[in-house]
Amino acid sequence: MSAFSPNEMMTIAASRALKNDDVCFVGIGAPSAACNVARLTHAPDITLIYESGTIGTAPDVLPLSIGDGELCETAITTVSVPEMFRHWLQGGRISIGFLGAAQIDRFGNINTTVIGNYDHPKTRLPGGGGAPEIATSSREVYITMTQSKRGMVDKIDFYTSFGHGEGGDHRQRLGIGTKGPTLLITDLAIWRPDPDTKEFTVVSLHPGVRRAQVQETCGWTVKFADDIQVTPEPTALELKTLRDLKARTEAAHKGAAGAI
């Protein structure tokens, strides 16, 4: 077995969570890589949907943005953005919303808007886009991100995408009927929310990762499951699929840059 990086382990672990019959609303970046590895391995019939209105897309390379022509060219069909959100997303047709985060708290609330004070931020982030609607209208939400104390914080600076709020039944009290975040995959571990408190709990450590590493890169006191598992290593097929996808993407984007 070839050596693998923490980011490769994260992407492959995330891809394994997806099923063949899922209809997945895909975020750009790490979520897109995970979803396409799933499509190219164990879930060939998964329906991938991107915010620009592309349905059933099967990109040969990872898109730079939701407006990347690769998505429309390989989609079964493309609909208008209002139709995408009103009919597909808010109509309850999306089984998994797959999101990334700049900041996240223990209850899966996501910030992709600003770091610091909103009116005078230290950093202005890309914003929410469709993520707030994805977080509330998808039947459940998966999140992937690299662990750091800067990203996994006790209190996020801005609520872009609502997770479990203050925990417990907060979503239900607000009239949100979907499950919300049910899975967090980082470069060190797999996390799932506690059934009652909804606080994310480590259920699996990636190979070679120690509990102390998880705590050192997290801004709150981490809870670990009693029966904690070890994430299975990537298979040769999973690694080759991911690396080939990344290589094709890098070559295509270098070509595009050279043509400008």
Catalytic center residues: 51
Other C-beta atoms lying within 10 Å of the C-beta of residue 171: 22
In angstroms, what CA-CA distances link 46 with 31, 160, 177, 189?
14, 27, 24, 25
Give Cα separations from 62 to 83, 118, 176 (angstroms): 24, 32, 32
| Residue linked to tokens 């990086």 | 5
**Rounded to an integer, what is the distance from CA 129 to the centroid of its chain?**
14
Cα dihedral 47, 40, 108, 167, rounded to 10, equals 60
- Pairing relationship of beta strands 23-26 and 47-49 according to DSSP bridges: parallel
Residue 69 Cα to chain centre, angstroms = 22
Strands, DSSP E only, in 70-180?
Answer: 77-78, 96-99, 103-104, 110-111, 114-116, 121-124, 140-145
Alpha helix (H) residue ranges in 205-235: 211-216
CB-count burial class (<10 Å; 0-12, 13-18, 19+) for 72: middle
What is the C-alpha to C-alpha distance for residues 230 and 253, in angstroms, rounded to an integer? 36
DSSP structural state of residue 88? I
CA–CA dist 207, 13 (Å, integer) = 11
